[in-house]
Structures are given as C-alpha cells and as structure tokens.
Structure 1
C-alpha cells in the first residue's frame, strides 16, 4: 500500500488553423495531445476539480501473473477467465521475447515501465497519458507561477506543431521580435522532431536568468524562417487584469485558472464595484483552462443557490455523478450581467465558466466558437514521482449540455481583423478590438433599457 496524490481535472488541447507550406508535421505519437505551455510561468496542463490525497490499496490476492519465479506480479485480472488467460499468455510471450532477444539489454523495471506507457498510449484517448517524474515535477512547479523564461504562451496544435498563441507584454520574446502564430523549429540546435513532448520543450526554453536561448521559428504569415537569440528573464505570471472601461462597465481578463486566481478575480470584481462598475466584460480568449476548483470558487460567488455543473463518470469501477452547487451567499448583485469574450482557444474551465453563467441567464457570449473540452481526468501521482492521467468523467452544463468536441457557440459571432489577430491581447488597442467593442455595445444596451430610478 502506498499514498498517491490524486487530482481530478479537465484539460485541453488548443488548436490552430491550418497553414499552407508549414514545416513538417510532428508525429502524433510523439507529441500526443499535450496541452498548453506558458514557457515563462505556468504550464496550463491540468484542471483540478479538487485536490485530495487518495490511498490506493494493492493488498489482497494479487499474485496472478508470474513470469517465472523471479518475476513480480504484473497484473490484477482474473487468470481463470479463458479470454484473460489467452491475453496474459501472449503478453508473457512478448515480454520474454523482448527480455531475451531485443538488441538492447533492458532491466525488468525498464520493461515494466514501457508496458505502463504502452497501456496508456493504446487507450487512444487524447487526455490519457503517462508523465515521467521530471514532467510531473515541471507541471507542479509551473502552477507556482514565477521563473525565468521568454514570455510566450505556446499551444501544441493538432498538427503537432508548437505555435505561439500569446506573448507577455514587455517580455523577452516580444522584444526579440516573436509574433503570434510563430512556430518553433529548433531550440538551441535541437529540432522539434527530437523533442518528445511539451514539457521537454518548456525545460529547454526556460533556464537561468540572464542566459540566452537560441530559437529557430517559422513565421506562417510570411513563410520565413527566423533565428532569434532571446535572453531569459524572470517573468511573473499576471493571471488577472482588471480596469474600468467606461462609466458602469468593468473589464476583467483571466489568462488561466492557476492556483489563487479565484481570490485575485474576486478581489478585482470587488475593486471594480467600488469604482462604480455594475456590469462586467470577462475576457476568456486564449484561456485554455487551469484548476477547476478555482473556477468553481468564482462561480460560487457569482451565482445564487443553483447547479454550477455536474460530473458523470467512473470511480473505483462504478459509475458516479457529482453535482456542484453554489450557495446563496454570492458577493455580486443579482442583477449584474456579464459579456464574456471567447475564441477557439477558450477551453475547458473557461468553457465551464462561460457556459454556466449563460445557462443561468447572466451572460452573453461574444466572439468565436470555443474549443470544446467537455471531459475531465484524474491525475494520480505515483510513489516514484511519476504520474498517470486518465480520462474518467464528462462535465455537463446546468442545462444538461456536454460540449466535448463541440464547444460553445457565441450568442454574437464577431471576428477580429487580420491585423488585430497578430497582436497579443495585452497590446491590442481597445478601439481595434471588435469583440471587445461588441461586448461594450451590448452592456450599454442593457443599461439604456433599464427604467430610470
């Protein structure tokens, strides 16, 4: 028996548009569907719907497979079932062949580790995979927020390419000339075809403050290759940006749902209310997710006593349904309305927030179709520091919809101009932000429609 850290989460794979003459695709079995990485600060990788310590027992009559007397148990299935026995016999034969005939002499531990990776890979689920101890540690450190890097958000698209999707204002990447849509080709001379996953990419790009990383990019807009030398600097991840747009209308951008973001968000809401805001624009564009317990904490303060979402899946071999309810003690007035900005990079926890508020009649969605991540997973940290992530539930919005592979359709579809799309949101002139302007116009119409006091 041993303790394992178990997390329930929802994760996402932001997608980019196909381009002509792009660099060679990375093979899917190399990149998998590993999510979004903020190279300078936070790895947006898992959405935790609550963190707990789970004690998982392997006690009992477990000696079901023995590959010779000196082998340890490898499985916990019923060996008396004829179908199981045939499958186990085949597995034993394959194991013995690799152990005795493969060109490299591998230890039993290495073979078993390979079997574990292969088992998860063959489930053919984009959100189910194995994490080495190094990868798992990188993810946990990422949620802490601050370390040295270049200030770029990178998404691994379905073509397997690492594409820049957001840039930190004043960060090294912007200063070096990196633009949205640039695709990584090499890092310090190592081609992307030799980089196994997004956490390895992050590890290569990050480093000691003041050192430089040499990166080769492909610019899709001009079809050119760029060689840039970028100095690593400490960059604090600013997850919540808030300001007053005009009389009565506030603006809050949530960049990701990492640790502590709900407290920052609620503090921002209170601050904007103190400045006279009675309506809010919530900007969830390019927000690929984060910790689900954070978004649930936000919704709990924005909604009356209603259902926020429900999870339905399997736990310990049996079906489960977990209904998440808000209480009646919300911190915002019942008549506050929200214009929520979304795009094709809005995913998972962001979709949960936007969809729940809309289902309860408090929000209007403006922008583009969201990504469509309506399933969740558990991540279990193992005793050696590695981890396993398994898809094990779907989440449903209050009206009963599951958005997996569908996304949220905005109430008002508005696209940015091509020039605006090339600008990071942090640097985009509000006058050129057609989606933001549509949100302001809608909130103004609500204000003008209210009867005078």
Structure 2
C-alpha cells in the first residue's frame, strides 16, 4: 500500500526554496498576552497576515497594525466566537470563498472526497415569483444510501418531512444536523413542479467516499471514436483511477474526447495538471500555470519559482498522453475552480470548446492552514501531532490566482460557453447516453452533423445552489502541486 493511500490528503503548498538565504522573510508580529486564552484567533490572524491574497487590502491584517501585546490581545478578544472573528475581522470584501472549520480532520476528509452524505447529488432552483424552492436529482453516488432507494436522476422534490422547501428553510431541512429525512417528491406538469404523494427516506452516512471518475466510455459515431469522461471532483486520492480511465480510452483508440465537468466544483491543482497532461502532452517545458501571490510573498520569488509545468508522471506511472489538439468540455453554473483551471490552462495550447452554461468564476487557489507555527501553518498529515493541542481549527483562505501560459486569469464572472446549452429539468436525459442533450450536442459538433436534432431548452435550469455547495469541499481549488516550502517564521 502506498503512503498516499494511508493519508487523508496531501496538502504540500506549491512553493519552493526561496531567496538568497533559502527562506522567505516573514515579518515579525507581536504575540498576545500569555493570559489571554485566544489561541484560535491568534492562529487565524497570524496565518492570514502572511498567506492571505488580499492581506494588503485588509487594514486589520497590516504588519504594523499592532504595536504591543495589549492592543493585539484586545483585538483578538473583540469577537469571542472564532468563526465570527474570521468572517468579520479578517476577510476582504470581495472574497467569496475563504472559509474555516472547527475540526481540521473533518475539513481534510472532505477535501479527500470523504463526507457525511446520503449519496444524493442535486441542484436547487427557486420557483419564479415565489419563495418556494425545488430540487432536481443530478446523480446518485454508488454504494450510498440513496443508491438503495427508489430515486434517480431527473426526479424532482419540493419538500422535506412534509414541509415545503423555501428560500428561508432549505438549508436547515436539507443540510442540517438531521441524519435522516423524508423527501416529498414532485412531478413536472404543464410547466410547473407539483408535489405528488411519493416519499423517499434517506439517511446520511459517515465517511462516504465518492470516486469522482463517474463515467468513462467510448462511442463509435459516423466512423469517429469518441471518448466520454464524466469527472465530478479533482480529488488526488483518485489520481490512479483517473489515469486508468484516460489510458483505457486511449487504448480504445479515441480521437476525440468529451470531458463532463458540469457537476465538478473543483479541487486539487496537481490533479488538474495531471489531467491536462494526459489530454494534451507531457512536455515538462510547457508552462501549465504561473502563480500570483500577495506582494509580501510574490516580491521574494523569482519567475521560475512561480511557474508550474506540465507533468509526465502520475505517482510512479508514466503518462501516455492522448495528444489531442481539441477538447470538448461540458459545463454548468456548478463547474468551478479546478474545472475552470483545466479549461484555462489548456486554452493556450489546444482548442477547448465549452458546451453548456457559464461557469462559476472561481479563479483563486487555497490551501489548508492549521495551528502548526513551525511548519508555516501548513497542514501536513505527517505533522498532525505538532498541531497546537489547544486549537484544532483549520482555515482555508485564498492564497492567490493562477495565470495560464498567456497570462490570462480574469474570469471572476465565469467562463462563457462557445455553445450555450442549459440543462432542462423536464429533459435531463441519462448521463453517458448518446441522447443526453449536452453530450448529444457535443457529438453533433464533433461529427459535423447538423439539423438532425432540435436542442431547444423548454425549461432551462437556473440553479442558485446545489448539494455540493453545502459539503465542506464546496468550490475550492487546492494548491497541492508538490513543491517544498522552506520558511522561517519569527
């Protein structure tokens, strides 16, 4: 068994040996009074003061903000609850994605694809001119509780435990502490979603692991061998599965590839690099991304230290790339972070045809920080015994943005599809089936066949949220590109 399989997730921040003294210079800041008892707030401030992308834009994070322990302690004690302190005192107003958790183990498990879940993945839609909300099933995680129940993709629901879902109660009903709930199912009739008599009881399981390689198959259409890969999260615990899936498609002789990222909220930067290399090329002289940190870090690093290149390896395995010059990607408003990074990093090299909806617009990366001062606050599985025993909190702040080889990174409003085609909750289709609308549209584009099918969307899905947005993973892009960081913290 490999070391990797024994660890929840390896988060080694993608940085480097740096500067003339082989260290980054970290400004010295004051410490709280010994009797203050604010270990969580102190950790949060110091970690954010050094790493946060917008550190220079938050006055309370300035290096010279506090001149003595008394004023620093007073600031740390100004908000008693650590989560509220993080949100109200440390975040830049434009930051939509930094977050925290009171238990680093729960956070790191979620980033490894392990969560407390009933296995039902769904989108949420607000009814027009109403406070009411309904859900539609996107897919079912295999070997989950939902996989044993009478529920499938395309099913609709409007209530939980007999209570109609609304914009004000859906979070508590669907994502609260209740382990078991009953969904009140619904039908789509005459342009409306109407509750029926059917009910489905679902129970959340601890430590449910989702293999993100959901579908991998090929089709022979008009003499063209087309590969289809539905990939639902960039989780580095499953890099070997991803490698096997793409190699399997290569061995089937595919000449075109459709990658379905419409329900993929993001994840590992290194896994994104691996997939990009498998699709395009393993030339390690080709720039994959260039990192942009806050000025405190950026100014101390050379250009080469900020660059990450394509790779020719997945662990001990040598990548056999597909060598494609064109890629078709299916997207939705739930395609975020590493999903967008895959598209953006490949566009300088090949033609990426986006089919679907505008993506989420998450172009910043993050990493997990814990109260391990000697390790620059970076979460490292082998050092969990070094984490402050009085503070098990973790934060996941935004550290920077990734530019592609052309220097482009500004897609905070999302990546716009080349072919706009929203999902239709009245006609979702079967994932991986040639007649599923988005896949069918991609195949039409590949084969050049026109006029054979009407892709009119009668009931376009305008989601405002989804089940994945209430997992701890949410829509994060995790910087784990496996370089070694050498820091000296004062």
TM-score (norm 1): 0.64
The 8 Å contact of residues 121 and 129 in structure 1, kept in 2 or not, is answered as no
Cα offset for 1:398? 2.7
Equivalent of 2:426 in 419, 426, 440: 419
1:350 partner SS: helix
The answer to whether residue 348 in structure 2 is matched with residue 341 in structure 1 is: no
CA–CA separation in structure 2 for the residues paired with 1:407 and 1:112: 32
DSSP 3-state at the match of 1:399: coil
Question: What secondary structure sits across from 1:297 in the alignment?
Answer: helix
Q: Does 1:244 align with 2:228?
A: no
Provide the secondary structure at the position in 1 that maps to 2:347: helix
- SS of corresponding position for 1:408: coil
What is the aligned partner in structure 2 of residue 267 from structure 1?
Answer: 244
- Which residue of the other structure, out of 118, 123, 138, is the alignment partner of 1:150? 118
Instruction: Verify: 1:375 aligned to 2:370, yes or no.
Output: no
Whether the aligned pair in 2 keeps the contact of 1:375 and 1:404 (CA below 8 Å) is: no
Alignment gaps of 5+ in structure 1: 1-42, 99-109, 206-211, 447-453
The answer to whether the Cα contact below 8 Å between 1:183 and 1:219 also exists between their aligned partners in 2 is no
Q: Does 1:323 align with 2:307?
A: yes
Superposition map of 1:186-201 within 5 A: 201=175
1:214–1:189: structure 2 CA closer, same or farther, 3 Å change rule?
farther
- Secondary structure (helix, strand or coil) at the match of 1:272 reads helix
Gaps of 5+ in 2: 1-7, 18-22, 50-59, 313-317, 372-386, 450-490
Distance 2:186 2:16 in 1: 44
| Larger CA deviation: 290-299 vs 162-171 | 162-171
Indicate conservation of the 8 Å contact 2:186/2:194, yes or no.
yes
Matched, 1:308 2:288: yes
Structure 1 residue 289 displacement after superposition: 0.8
Alignment map for 1:15-54 (pairs within 5 Å): 50=13
Distance 1:405 1:244 in 2: 34
Are positions 1:430 and 2:404 aligned together?
Answer: no
Match of residue 348 from structure 2: 359
Cα distance in 2 between the residues matched to 1:298 and 1:345: 19
Contact 2:30 2:67 in 1 (8 A): no
Change (3 A) 1:93 1:215: same
- Tell me the equivalent position of 1:102: none
Task: Find 1:222's aligned residue among 189, 193, 217.
Answer: 193
**Structure 1 residues 172 and 327 mapped into 2: Cα distance closer, same or farther (>3 Å)?**
closer
CA-based RMSD: 5.1
Number of the residue aligned with 1:297:
274
Asked if residue 440 in structure 1 is aligned to residue 414 in structure 2, the reply is no
Distance verdict in 2 for CA 1:331–1:153, change over 3 Å: same
Aligned residues: 372
TM superposition shift of 1:168 = 0.7
Q: Which structure has more RCO (C-alpha within 8 Å, separation ≥ 6)?
A: 2
Distance 1:155 1:223 in 2: 17
Name 2:89's counterpart in structure 1. Answer: 119
Counterpart of 1:130 in structure 2 is: 100
Provide the secondary structure at the position in 2 that maps to 1:430.
coil
Distance change in 2, residues 1:404/1:91 (3 Å)? farther
Deviation, 1:312, is 0.5
Q: CA deviation at 1:294?
A: 0.9
Contact 1:366 1:413 in 2 (8 A): yes
For 2:74, the equivalent position in structure 1 comes to: 92
Q: Distance in 2 between matches of 1:333 and 1:48?
A: 28
Q: State the shift of 1:418 in Å.
A: 4.3
